[in-house]
Amino acid sequence: MKLSTRARYGVRMMLDLARQYGQRPVYLREVAEREAISEKYLSQIIILLRGQGLVLSTRGASGGYSLARSPAEITLRDIVEPLEGGNCLVECVQHPSACSRVPTCAARDIWALLGEKISETLNSVTLEELVRRNREKSGNNLSHAI
């Protein structure tokens, strides 16, 4: 199992916005430079996150992007699940009619449990926690890959 680049970059972008929280809105170009991610790729990701109500955009000379809520109120689950399309590991967990073996399949129970544990873990970590961890790990150099 592997997280997509979109989810990893989305978390990095949101962590960058969390570090800027309470200051002026941030240009996507600035995030792209700090995180060494294509601005074009980030523009695709930010559309999805804005649609989830996680990011605000401000137009004009002092415009840019900022978090829609406090970093303490945004979890990794809020970010990762929309970018990954959920946390369902196998189709039959979300759509039982996809497989005729669902009533007798012991493995399906494990896949469902694993999906729940992933969701619980992602839900237990906020952007505020990530900012704290990032500062502890990097000192003054705040740009490290996730």
All domains of the chain in start order, with CATH:
5-138 (1.10.10.10)
Give the model's confidence band at 146: pLDDT under 50 very low, under 70 low, under 90 confident, else very high: low
Spatial contact of 77 and 119, defined as CB atoms under 8 Å apart: yes
Residue 64's Cα: distance from chain center in Å?
A: 19
C-beta of residue 11 within 8 angstroms of C-beta of residue 5: no
Give the predicted TM-score (pTM) of the model. Answer: 0.87
Q: Is the pLDDT of residue 81 over 90?
A: yes
% the chain with pLDDT above 90 = 66
Compute the residue count for the chain. 146
- Please state which of the ranges 19-23, 51-55, 94-98 shows the lowest mean pLDDT: 94-98
- CA-to-CA distance for 43 and 23, rounded, in angstroms? 21
Cα Dmax for the chain: 61
Q: Percent of the chain, pLDDT > 70?
A: 95
